Each structure stands twice: as C-alpha cells, then as structure tokens.
Amino acid sequence: MISKQKYMFFILILFMIGTLIFSKVDAITNELPLLGRVIFVDPGHGGRDPGTTYGKIMEKDIVLEISQVLRDELMKKGAIVYMTRETDEDLSSQWDVRKKRGDLYRRILMYKKYQAELYLSIHINYYSNSSESGAEVLYNPINSENKIFGEILMNNFKTSLGSKRKLKRTDLYMYQNTTVPGVLIECGFLSNPNERYLMQKKDYQQKLSRIITDSVITYFNH
Ligand SMILES: [Zn+2]
C-alpha cells in the first residue's frame, strides 16, 4: 500500500515535470516562431540573365546578397530554408529552347518538390524617372493566401521603410503557375540613387530581411 503522503508527493513531482516541459516548449515556440516551416527564398535572375542593371551594378548580384541575409534571418527563427540558387547561375538547361521559361519552370518545380509552405521571390525595380522609390509587393490571385501575406508585408514596408507604394497584382508566368503561397518582392529601385546605395549595404539588407521575416511570422500566426 502506498501511503497518502507518498501518493501526493508523486502527484506533485508529476505536476512539476509537466509544468517544466510546457514552459520549455513555450520558450522554444517564442524564440523559434518559424520552427519547422519550409520556406523558399528565390533570388531573381542569375547567370546569363542579369535582371535590371545600372552601369556595372546588376540586380542578380544584389538580390542574391539580400536573399542570403534573409535566409539567415528566417533560419534564426527556426525555419527550414531552401534557395532556388545560391550562386550566380540561372536554372535553365542547355536543352531549353526558351531559356527564361526553363529557368522559371525549374524554380516552380523546386517549391513543389520540397513542399514549400511559402516562397519569397526577391527582385529589384527600375524606372526611367529616378525619383521613383519604395519597396513593393506583387501577388497573383491563384492562391487566396498570396494577397493575405502580400498585405501584411506591404503594410510593414509602409510603416517600417516609409514606402508609399501599394500591393499590386502580377500575372507573370512564374506567379500564376504555382499554387504554393508566396509573393514577388521588389526591394527598391536601382534607378533611384538613394535606394541603389542602400540596397548594396549590409545593414539595409538586414533591415529589409527583418521586416520580411517579421511579416512571415505574422502571416503564419494569422
Ligand atoms: Zn527582377
């Protein structure tokens, strides 16, 4: 026979262990709000395709740098992050008749293959008028989640970067041919002297990445 005291003591120990486990799990989910989330960071262009250019400054190089910083930020929050490219390459094959289409098609295939929960396509804008500025988000309505995430991110660009731009729709091939949720992010204008300078700076790349990461956390909590 177990005495009543021993029984109560046993219950108390069990209760304490339970509380400890729950507070530990709570602490992990607070520190790692993206734990286990599969996210694709997609630096635009690459290889033969430089994207938009200003002299020797190329979109493909800046978006790769921003994407690497963004990958690290997302991973710090617990996400499983894949990138469509990690070097200066395009994803087309030598057999593709239409190289650009082949490149974009393979990016979409990767999202599917790795069961991505969200993709973030990183690009840079250009406009003939150099006073145009501001980070911008574009989405395709193929998945209703795209607009939800797009609004969260665009609002954060407005409040944290002072962007005056609006959430826009895109019907580009890549975005209307994947049902995986995600958006196209134009980080700023290469044609604007101030943003051209900032987007090449590590601390600004970090700022952008934090805003995007915070928006991803908000999105997954909605
Ligand atoms: Zn681009």
pLDDT digits (tens, 9 = 90+) for 172-217: 988 988 999 999 999 999 999 999 999 999 999 999 999 999 999 9
| Structure-model confidence comparison of residues 20 and 201, the more confident one | 201
CA of 20 to the centre of ligand 1 (A): 49
Does the structure show a pLDDT above 70 at 21? no
In this predicted structure, the answer to whether residue 16 has a pLDDT above a threshold of 80 is no
CATH class of 34-220: alpha beta
Give pLDDT tens digits for 26-40: 666 678 999 999 999
Q: How far is the CA of 116 from the centre of ligand 1 (A)?
A: 21
CA–centroid distance, 53 to ligand 1, in Å, is 10
What pLDDT is recorded for position 22?
66
Instruction: Say how many Å lie between the CA of residue 84 and the centre of ligand 1.
Output: 14
Residue 24 has pLDDT above 70, yes or no: no
Which segment of 17-21, 46-50, 72-76, 139-143 scores lowest on mean pLDDT?
Answer: 17-21
Ligand 1 centroid vs 34 CA: distance in angstroms?
A: 27
160 C-alpha to ligand 1 centroid (Å): 23
Residue 54 has pLDDT above 80, yes or no: yes
Supply the pTM of this predicted model: 0.88
Where is pLDDT greater, at 47 or 24? 47
Tokens of 4: 């009543």
